[in-house]
Amino acid sequence: MVNNKKKSFLLMLALSVAIVGCSKNDEVSSAQEETVVPVQVDVVQEGAVDAQAGISGKLAPNESVQVAPKVSGKITKVHVTLGQQVKQGDLLFDLDQSDLANAVKQAQSAVNVAAANLKQAENSSNQGVNQAQGSVAQLNHSITQAQTGLEQAHVGLTQAQQSYQDAQINEQRTRQLFEAGAVPMVEMERAETALKNAESAVKNAELALKNAETNIANAKSSYENAQKSLKNAQSKTAVDVARASLEQAQVNLQNARDQLANALVRAPISGVVSLVQGATGQMASPQMAVVHLVNINPMMVKANLSENELTTVSLGNKVALEIPALKKNLEATVSAISPVMDSQLKAYPIEISIPNPTGDLKADMVVNVKVSSAAAEAKSLIIPRKAVMEEQGKRYVYKLNGDVATKIEVQTGEEASDSVEILSGLQLQDQIVVKGQTLLQDGSKVQIQDLK
């Protein structure tokens, strides 16, 4: 009897466990079927993909001038220092004025003499002819001197060229010995210095030859003019000749005064002194710049564009600039585009103007330029780039139909860092999943957390 009761109890317990187990399985299955995935969504919009071309360039001054004197002479004082702000017309440096002042006095005396001669010519016209003849003889002598100077310049150039060839041979020989370890570095440097000096001497000799050629041409021209003056004097009255002599003396006086004024060298532009190469007591000449001036407001970004990049830029375009050294981001305007390719760089030079009132921008700082592409004005469908998924070479997005996410294949076009152009597969204002799609399957139910 007891055993029968135990058997009945165990049978009822087993049935209860089985019923409970089936109930739990049904609940789990139902829960799996009703799982909802939280997602964030966006909508298909109309717009244009803004691709950008990245260009690297450098800052350069808007203007750069190397200031050299118009006349040769000894520097008596330098009035500016490195980094100093100057205005146009400010005094930069002085040259010794003693010889030039004497030339002015001589020219003034010549004017006085010419004036006296004019007065005397009123009584004697023959005096004018004599003066003209003297000018011809003097200029003839000047031609002879100029020819001598030209010959000396030719000899000097020949000697300089020979010295340069010798310096080249010596430098090559020394370099071979240096590379073989046969001579020390100081010998190599001495040979290189000698070569540079020889090259500079050739340039100076070529310049001297050019000046000599100019001098003889001027002397011949003056001689021809003097001969014409003589002929005119012989055919006209002495008074006319004397008056012409006075005018010539006055011109010479003005030239002498101009030369004296040129001994005070002034700034041709407003800007900043970027380099001072001269000092008191040094000799200066028109071939040697003593002060360098730069105008740094505005600064210019000098960059180069490839043939393809050139089509994305137009004069007056606004471009975004990044200056890493200053950690600055700016906007500036394309101010110049070269129509001719640089044959060495195989690129087209461009310039971008940047205001620099504080002077923070310095020459040769690296600038990263981002130029917006000239995209078509026609609008297209665009979506966030993060909405696009790739599988086996194809692209998909999850499109919402109510609370169900449907996996849709799409064809894409232009792309940028944050957006993609859609060519097919979606319509304007379609809702698409932009976050949480990795948890979805085709047909999954979703709950929208954030609708943008």
Tens digit of pLDDT for each residue in 195-248? 889 888 888 988 888 888 888 888 788 878 877 777 776 665 677 788 888 889
- Supply the DSSP symbol for 359: -
pLDDT recorded at residue 266: 92
- How far apart are the C-alpha atoms of 17 and 7, rounded to whole Å? 16
pLDDT one-digit tens code per residue, 279-322: 999 999 999 899 999 998 899 999 888 777 777 788 888 888 88
**Over 50: is that where the pLDDT of 98 sits?**
yes
The pLDDT of 76-104, averaged and rounded, is: 90
pLDDT one-digit tens code per residue, 255-266: 888 888 888 899
For the segment(s) 98-261, the CATH number from 3.30.420.40, 3.40.1650.10, 3.30.465.10, 1.10.287.620 is: 1.10.287.620
pLDDT one-digit tens code per residue, 240-288: 788 888 889 899 989 888 888 888 899 999 999 999 998 999 999 999 8
Q: Considering the entire predicted model, what is its pTM?
A: 0.45
Superfamily covering domain 294-372: Efflux pump adaptor protein, beta barrel domain (2.40.30.170)
Q: Work out the angle between the directed axes of helices 98-121 and 238-261 (0-180°, nearest 10).
A: 170
3-state secondary structure of 443: coil
The pLDDT confidence band at residue 143, using thresholds 50, 70 and 90, is: confident
- Provide the mean pLDDT of the chain: 82
The pLDDT confidence band at residue 51, using thresholds 50, 70 and 90, is: low
By mean pLDDT, which of 30-34, 385-389, 433-437 is the weakest? Answer: 30-34
The pLDDT confidence band at residue 147, using thresholds 50, 70 and 90, is: confident
Burial of 135 (0-12, 13-18, 19+ CB in 10 A): buried
Who wins on pLDDT, 115 or 49? 115
pLDDT recorded at residue 13: 44
Residue 61: Cβ within 10 Å count: 22
Domain ranges of the chain: 38-49+377-451, 98-261, 294-372
Question: Which backbone phi and psi does 86 adopt, to 5 degrees?
Answer: -130, 155
The pLDDT of 83-91, averaged and rounded, is: 92
- How far apart are the C-alpha atoms of 393 and 251, rounded to whole Å? 87
pLDDT one-digit tens code per residue, 158-198: 988 898 898 889 889 988 888 888 889 888 888 889 888 98
Burial of 299 (0-12, 13-18, 19+ CB in 10 A): buried
The pLDDT of 366-380, averaged and rounded, is: 67
**Cβ proximity of 269 and 86 under 8 Å:** no
Alpha carbon 68 to chain centroid distance?
Answer: 23
- How far apart are the C-alpha atoms of 18 and 186, rounded to whole Å? 102
Determine whether domain 38-49+377-451 maps to CATH 1.10.10.60. Answer: no
Of 222, 227, 245, 253, the closest CA to residue 125 belongs to 245
Angle 130-131-133 from CA coordinates, rounded to 5°: 65
Residues above pLDDT 90, as percent of the chain:
27
Of 406, 451, 447, the closest CA to residue 426 belongs to 406
pLDDT recorded at residue 47: 79
The pLDDT of 357-384, averaged and rounded, is: 78
pLDDT recorded at residue 22: 45
- How far apart are the C-alpha atoms of 409 and 209, rounded to whole Å? 79
Of 157, 140, 142, 143, the closest CA to residue 210 belongs to 157
Of 267, 273, 290, the closest CA to residue 359 belongs to 273
**Cβ proximity of 303 and 57 under 8 Å:** yes
- How far apart are the C-alpha atoms of 32 and 15, rounded to whole Å? 26
